[in-house]
Every structure is written in structure tokens, then in C-alpha cells.
């Protein structure tokens, strides 16, 4: 089973979690695709795009039936993008993410080590 991760602000997830599809955040809608990260890219994604924001949601997404496009992003890395809506059924787990006393996001260790 292959997974990617989507960081969502609270309003984005709360407004869509009971729907059949996730259309993306404001940034996703503006860019024309849903941004995902691999487990290796998550720390930097949180730091660069969500610094000091809390609480957030981290969606774990099964990729088996998704048509992801891997495109070059920051640091010349390949990032997974989805050019269609995300079926909520593909979200296998949802984590609520808070920040610690130093202002860093607390990402479950098993995700970062996967």
C-alpha cells in the first residue's frame, strides 16, 4: 500500500470531511491541483507552508487508485499532485496536528519513519 499525505487547515477539512470528495484548499484550487507530500517531505512542508499554524489536519491517503502526477517542486524534488478531486474514501487516516513549545508541528513518528 502506497501513501501520500495532505496537510489541511482546520476549516478546509471540517467543511469537507462529510462530503464524498475533497476539492482542495484555496491554494490547491488556485494552482489547479491538490498538493501532496511524501513522508520524507512532510517536515519541510509544515515548516514552509504552515509555520505556526495549529491545529491542522494531516490526511493519510491511499494512492492505489489515484492518478497522481509527480512534478518537480522545491529543492528539485518530485511531489505528488492530483489534477482531480480526491475521493474521501481514499483517506485512510486523519491526524490532528498541534505545535510544541518550540513552535514545531508534532508529526506522528511512525509517519516520518515510514
pLDDT of 63-102, one tens digit each? 999 999 999 998 999 999 999 999 999 999 999 999 999 9
Domain of residue 49, residue span: 3-112
pLDDT tens per residue, range 13-66: 999 989 999 999 999 999 999 999 999 999 999 999 999 898 999 999 999 999
Please state the domain count of the chain: 1
Which pLDDT score, from 0 to 100, does residue 17 have?
Answer: 87
Is the pLDDT score of 1 beyond 70? no
* CATH code where residue 42 lies: 3.20.170.20
Q: Which long-range contacts (CB under 8 A, 24 or more apart) does 97-102 make?
A: 97/7, 97/46, 97/54, 97/55, 97/56, 97/57, 97/58, 98/54, 98/55, 99/52, 99/54
Which pLDDT score, from 0 to 100, does residue 32 have?
Answer: 96
DSSP state of 78: E
Amino acid at each position: 500500500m502506497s501513501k501520500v499525505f495532505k496537510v489541511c487547515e482546520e476549516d478546509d477539512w471540517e467543511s469537507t470531511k462529510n462530503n464524498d470528495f475533497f476539492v482542495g484548499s484555496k491554494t490547491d484550487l488556485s494552482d489547479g491541483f491538490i498538493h501532496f507530500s511524501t513522508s520524507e517531505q512532510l517536515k519541510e512542508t509544515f515548516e514552509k507552508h504552515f509555520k505556526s499554524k495549529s491545529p491542522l489536519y494531516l490526511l493519510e491517503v491511499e494512492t492505489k487508485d489515484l492518478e497522481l502526477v509527480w512534478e518537480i517542486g522545491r529543492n528539485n524534488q518530485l511531489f505528488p499532485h492530483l489534477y482531480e478531486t480526491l475521493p474521501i474514501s481514499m483517506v485512510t487516516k486523519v491526524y490532528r496536528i498541534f505545535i510544541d513549545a518550540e513552535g514545531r508541528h508534532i508529526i506522528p513518528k511512525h509517519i516520518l519513519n515510514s
